A and B are shown apart, each in its own frame.
Chain A
């Protein structure tokens, strides 16, 4: 098992009048090498959870195990977490600091002790993965558009080739093509490098297309988990948890009100809807 979380709670500013319980008694398991989705409404504890997995926060209660490193309220040494787990934050612009795009991306790999040639190769590779044109390499990262900055922060993390890659809303701010391509690339890297990917997203579309397993957070608690099909089968509960049902599922449900027999179950992506509609239409023509 890759990541095991048991009875995890986190209270911000514990012991002050501002104490705020962001995570309450969460237990879950994530298999090594899988693509995991985390969803939930604003303030439900998603970012808190991933910061704990990355060893950036200390749990108030419970424990996190990532491979053979353990983090609990007493843990002093959080280094193994930093080494294995990399996070692309929700506003990754804050992660940028070097003079040029290339130097910024090179920072992580250089700290891993790689040779200059290897570092350069990693930078080139990571820029391509993140969809950054090579002309941008020598510009200041602060002279880029919002979407371009996001790609630089992503490239910096991809260049580290971590064992666990955590992405907090990785496609926010990217144009539609950028969104699609980035996730396809991450999916491919995940498979090739057997990387564990944990993605926080508000887009059920992205989750249903890419995640093998998903976890639903609500008010600091884990309220559901399973494959996207299993979770989407909860129907009206989804809306109670503040989730959005993917558009094509809404369309399929709407169509099914007047189609006998209904369209087949398990429509996971837009293409599935199009092909089942076509099949149905051809059947009708010939039958």
Chain B
């Protein structure tokens, strides 16, 4: 299968002339993402995650190397419009994304730019607003929304554009549990419907829901694999200021103290079952 996104030996810096290569934001990134795949990206602050995301939708162009989306090179100016149309991005800070005077206009804005017919727009607006828990706020000014509500609005705007690939850059960090559940639900629905999803997150628990976890550090991909495989390498993750989710941390800690756990549990249920077995023997 041809990858939908292909990053080949990409080096990037914001001021490449002024900065020694060893300090560039990206230092030889290689990554292939298959159509329909769900990839989580974790990494310490400043490791290059947002920079990589902006390269994937052509908002930034590689200083060296190349990025291809559906086979099209982001450096070809004539393909750029199509690439941005296919790769939607929810930014880290929703204020950078919100443009409309009302919640409804804001969602309509992106679709208008794509030339979505009016009847279709009127159908999608209530759908995405209710999906993100903003039904009833259509006429409000986005500036009068709380922090978490703004983040939901930014996501609704991208969902309405129905891109083939959606990049979520820490889109859950300001949300309450219900908001996070809504976003994670939206991500999984999108994935099920065939959308390719890239989710940048600092939450190991969220990352564990992806098909593949990519760990970025120092401008490179340092680890990747099924989330369970990556999380069982606690020591290496800590080298990059990261931590596996609670159940992995707990297994690691208990095993270190001599408790004969298998270390293979990958969800709460499996761990609880194993612990029941061990603790009820006495």
A186: Cβ under 8 A from any B Cβ: no
Which of A13, A144, A255 is B46 in contact with, Cβ under 8 Å?
A: A144
B174: Cβ under 8 A from any A Cβ: yes
Measured CB to CB, the nearest residue on chain A to B181 is A244
Chain A: minimal CB distance from B101 (Å): 13
Q: Check B149–A175 contact: CB distance below 8 A.
A: no
| Interface stretch of the complex, out of A40-48, A66-74, A112-120, A229-237 | A40-48
Q: Which residues of B contact A247 (CB under 8 A)?
A: 205, 246
Q: Which residues of A contact B268 (CB under 8 A)?
A: 250-251, 254
Which of A18, A41, A178, A248 is B246 in contact with, Cβ under 8 Å?
A: A248
Q: Report Cα–Cα, A207/B49, bound state, in Å.
A: 28
Residues A285 and B282 in contact in the complex (CB < 8 Å), given A175-B45, A202-B175:
yes
Which of A13, A172, A254 is B174 in contact with, Cβ under 8 Å?
A: A172
B259: Cβ under 8 A from any A Cβ: yes
Chain A: minimal CB distance from B48 (Å): 8
Q: Which residues of A contact B178 (CB under 8 A)?
A: 41-42, 242
Within 8 A of A (CB), among B138-182: 140, 144-149, 152, 169-170, 173-180
| Interface stretch of the complex, out of B65-73, B223-231, B249-257 | B249-257
Q: Check A177–B243 contact: CB distance below 8 A.
A: yes
Q: Report Cα–Cα, A94/B281, bound state, in Å.
A: 57
Per the CB 8 Å criterion, the residue count for chain B at the interface is: 54
| Interface stretch of the complex, out of B27-35, B75-83, B120-128, B271-279 | B271-279
Q: Check B46–A42 contact: CB distance below 8 A.
A: no
B50: Cβ under 8 A from any A Cβ: yes
A223: Cβ under 8 A from any B Cβ: no
Q: Check B249–A284 contact: CB distance below 8 A.
A: no
B209: Cβ under 8 A from any A Cβ: no
Chain A: minimal CB distance from B20 (Å): 12
Chain A: minimal CB distance from B50 (Å): 6
Q: Which residues of A contact B175 (CB under 8 A)?
A: 42, 202
Q: Which residues of A contact B144 (CB under 8 A)?
A: 12-13, 18, 20
Residues A277 and B174 in contact in the complex (CB < 8 Å), given A42-B179, A91-B95, A247-B246:
no
Within 8 A of A (CB), among B89-146: 92-93, 95, 140, 144-146
Residues A281 and B202 in contact in the complex (CB < 8 Å), given A202-B177, A242-B177, A247-B246:
no
Within 8 A of B (CB), among A152-203: 168-169, 172-179, 202
Q: Check B92–A176 contact: CB distance below 8 A.
A: no
Q: Check A90–B147 contact: CB distance below 8 A.
A: yes
Q: Report Cα–Cα, A20/B143, bound state, in Å.
A: 13
Q: CB-CB contacts of A256-287 with B at 8 A, as 1s and 0s?
A: 00110000000000100110011011011101
Q: Check B202–A176 contact: CB distance below 8 A.
A: yes
Q: Report Cα–Cα, A42/B173, bound state, in Å.
A: 12
Q: Which residues of B contact A250 (CB under 8 A)?
A: 268
Residues A274 and B250 in contact in the complex (CB < 8 Å), given A169-B147, A281-B278:
yes
| Listed A/B pairs (11) with beta-carbon separation below 8 Å | A41-B179, A42-B152, A94-B95, A169-B173, A175-B43, A176-B243, A177-B241, A255-B272, A259-B276, A278-B259, A284-B282
